[in-house]
Amino acid sequence: MRRGLFSVLIVAGALFIPTVCYSAIFTTDRGEWPSTWPKGLDPYRKQAKTIRVAHGIQETVYEIRL
């Protein structure tokens, strides 16, 4: 009984060990969206913020603060 409980605890521990995730986050206090986007957004570039997140896939977030 004691050996079975120990085995269960070992397996449970191995399955639930926290994994370490790394990502890099870069922010720019300017809207750096592509030039192919509508020209009506250009006046908002100075008040926008660009956030780039690299965690295996590249993700870019554009935030326009009003």
Cα separation, 30 vs 36, in Å, equals 17
Res 38: pLDDT: 95
Cα separation, 51 vs 16, in Å, equals 32
pLDDT tens for 12-63 read 767 776 666 677 899 999 999 999 999 999 999 999 999 999 887 889 999 9
DSSP 23-58: -EEEEESS----TTS-GGGGGGTTTEEEEEEESSSE
pLDDT at 1 over 70: no
Res 17: pLDDT: 67
Res 36: pLDDT: 94
Cα separation, 54 vs 27, in Å, equals 12
